[in-house]
Structure 1
Amino acid sequence: MMASRSQVLYVGMTNNLARRVREHKRKKADSFTARYNVTRLVWYHTFPRPQDAIAAEKKLKGQSRSDKIALIEDQNPDWKDLGPSVMASGRGDAV
């Protein structure tokens, strides 16, 4: 999950998390994340199979905002940007 400083949330799945975080931070396209300055990676989970990541993405998108916030705050209570460490490590599959 990506977030803006004002806690606008974005849920997405990618096969290369480090690349995708870089794209969001560069605001390359005229997209939701660029428009709302959603550039901070605040939560992610990796999966062994793409099907599992897709299913998890669908489930997350169906959850309430408060459920998503609870998930973030359980693992990242300060809403720290996890992007720099993910980009440095070159992590792959994630939701």
Structure 2
Amino acid sequence: MASRRNGTLYLGVTSDLAGRAYQHRNALVEGFTKRHGCTMLVWFESYDDLQEARLRELQMKKWKRAWKIELIERENPQWRDLFETLF
């Protein structure tokens, strides 16, 4: 999730991406995303194994910001909100 292009980034894991993204988009969840206005789904990866997804999350949370931005821009150079693509 992002607040805007090159803005604040949030990284997390969920078993219901559409539902969780909806919560963030509508500021229904107290915490980081609400405080920082992270409402745009700009990148995601899918995993069949939740443990594998959590390991990837932990790995990426150690990344430099520039690496995360590079990953987003490689897959979504316009920083489009991908929420609608989930349906």
TM-score (norm 1): 0.86
AA matched with 1:22 = Y
TM-score (norm 2): 0.93
Q: Which segment is superposed worse, 27-36 or 60-69?
A: 27-36
Q: What residue in structure 2 maps to residue 83 of structure 1? A: 83
Cα distance, 1:57 vs. partner? 0.3
Please, which runs of 5 or more residues in structure 1 have no aligned partner? Answer: 89-95
How many residues were matched structurally?
86
Please, which runs of 5 or more residues in structure 2 have no aligned partner? Answer: none
Q: After TM superposition, list the pairs within 5 Å mapping 1:49-88 onto structure 2.
A: 49-86=49-86, 88=87
CA distance in 2, matches of 1:5, 1:71: 15
RMSD of aligned C-alpha atoms? Answer: 1.0
Q: Percent identity?
A: 40
Q: What residue in structure 2 maps to residue 4 of structure 1? A: 3
Which portions of structure 1, spanning 4 or more consecutive aligned residues, are displaced by more than 4 angstroms?
none
Higher relative contact order (CA 8 A, sep 6+): 1
Q: What residue in structure 1 maps to residue 32 of structure 2? A: 32
Q: 2:81 aligns to what SS in structure 1?
A: coil
CA distance in 1, matches of 2:59, 2:20: 20
